[in-house]
Amino acid sequence: MYNNEDRQVRKIVIDPGHGGTDSGAVGNNALEKDYTLLISKYMYDRFKELGVPVAITRDSDVTLSPTERVSSILSKFGNNDDVIVISNHINSGGGQGAEVIYALRNPDTLAKNILNNIGNTGQTTRKYYQRRLPSDPSKDYYFIHRNTGRTEPLIVEYGFIDSQKDVNFLNNNYRDLVEAVIQAVTNYIGVPYTPPGGMISNTYTVQRGDTLYSIANRLGTTVDELRRINNIEGNTLSVGQILRVPTESITDDEENIYIVKAGDTLYKIAQDTGTTVDELKALNNLTSNTLMIGELLKLPSNLLPEDTYIVQKGDSLYSIAAKYNTTVDALKEVNNLTSNILSVGQVLKLPTVEETSGTITYTVQRGDSLYSIAREFNTTVDEIKYLNNLESNLLSIGQVLKIPAFQTLETTYTVERGDSLYSIARKFDTTVDKLKQLNNLSSNLLSIGQILIVRE
């Protein structure tokens, strides 16, 4: 994570377009406001993970007037030119592809880089541009540009909601699209970019001397496949360029695969996985100790400690906890994890029976009550009061409660006011796509009282 103690880092305000009674564009049984919130919350979490000062104008399905939205933006870090505003939107009107619109007062550098990066995900791109107010061409057309003072605001349109192709791409690749924007922004403000552990597609950072051929050989894929997945027409690469690596290059018959990350050495990997440097070199035909970020290493399964597990494609903390009869919180505690994000090849320590607690903890949020918490975790108010020595039903925001862990494995959930597929997926450590698959949903629309299957 970037440490900004020694220098001033530019700040980011993320604005999920529309919300509440303003659904935005509609098409293919989807609402713009749902996509913008999903995209923006993921973007917010990633900027925080990278150590970039970040704020968001809304984190739930609420209505914001243009005045309220602008006021919220300017209140986060002030009306200053070191603030970048990213207003996320989905287009409509019969077109296809992504666009970026920047303010008249700003250069095109960031807008251009964002659109180029989005194109590298495989999404169609249209143009980056400015738009003037017809009645006064000296002013911006969009209020998000016109009324946000000295900040540097951009509108990012990720595709067209009335294009089935764009909607399909958004559903399957929204994280990649967001990462494209994040990488452009971090490069622009001079903050090191590192890909997330939980990205759908693995990534590789181009090193000095790399070619498409050498990278394909190293990662067990082909030059054509690298070109296809990264939308590359020629052979030109630049040092520091982030390439998507086809997930097929992690073969299903290789049970123990480790993906090299920043800071890894053969010695460290050998220690973490209970093997030796010589064994790793022999198994992977390595002639030196040099490793590259994104490189795939085979691990000798017979030497792995019994109390460790190597994360595979499709794993989540919940699925691993269920497989080994433990809890998500116990896994996070023994592995010093601060989030639920996992990466393929990550080595996890498995809790012993003594380390698996009979309770988990929950931090009280605004609007919570003992009744709502008990419903959420499939327990009772009396059980929560007993575990926490509570004499009344009064709670305070930030209060930490013990919750019976054995009660949390419910397989269904009843939709409540304010819920979205994204918030429910986060609550049950799963994905929006998985929830839609389990419930045969063709859109992200939910109704209060609807019963969802959340686990198989």
434 is a domain residue: no
Residue 443 lies in a domain: no
Phi/psi for 158 (5° steps) reads -85, -10
Range of the domain at 31: 11-189
Is the predicted pLDDT of residue 165 greater than 80, yes or no? yes
In a domain, 417, yes or no: no
- Cβ-Cβ contacts under 8 Å for 273 (sequence gap 6 or more): 258, 299, 303, 304, 308, 310, 347
Considering only residues 19 and 279, tell me which one the structure prediction assigns the higher pLDDT: 19
243 compared with 393, residue with greater pLDDT: 393
Element (H, E) at 414: strand 412-414
Split into its structural domains, the chain has a count of 1
User: Considering the domain boundaries, does residue 139 fall inside one?
Assistant: yes
Least confident of 245-249, 320-324, 370-374, 377-381: 245-249
Residue 319 has pLDDT above 50, yes or no: yes
Taking alpha carbons only, the member of 368, 436, 447 closest to residue 401 is: 368
Q: Is residue 380 part of a domain?
A: no
Residue 153 lies in a domain: yes
Looking at residue 324, the DSSP 8-state letter turns out to be: T
Q: Read off the CATH number of the domain in which 161 is found.
A: 3.40.630.40
In a domain? residue 1: no
- Does 422 score more than 80 pLDDT? no
Angle at 395 between CA 393 and CA 396, to 5 degrees: 165
What does the mean pLDDT of the chain come to? 80
Q: Collapsing DSSP states into helix, strand and coil, what is residue 114? A: helix
Over 90: is that where the pLDDT of 110 sits?
yes
**Which contacts qualify for 326-334: CB closer than 8 Å, 24 or more apart?**
326/350, 326/351, 326/356, 327/356, 327/357, 327/360, 327/405, 327/408, 328/360, 328/429, 329/357, 329/360, 329/361, 329/405, 330/355, 330/356, 330/357
Q: Which of 26-40, 82-96, 297-311 has the lowest mean pLDDT?
A: 297-311
Tokens of 159: 């595709």
Tell which wins on pLDDT, 41 or 205: 41
Separation of alpha carbons 82 and 369, rounded Å = 40
For residue 169, being part of any structural domain is answered with yes
Region 385-400: what's the mean pLDDT? Answer: 81
Residue 409 has pLDDT above 50, yes or no: no
Rg of the Cα trace of the chain?
Answer: 24
Segment among 129-138, 148-157, 387-396 with least mean pLDDT: 387-396
What's the CA gap between 401 and 370, in Å, rounded? 10
| Percentage of the residues of the chain whose pLDDT score is greater than 90 | 31
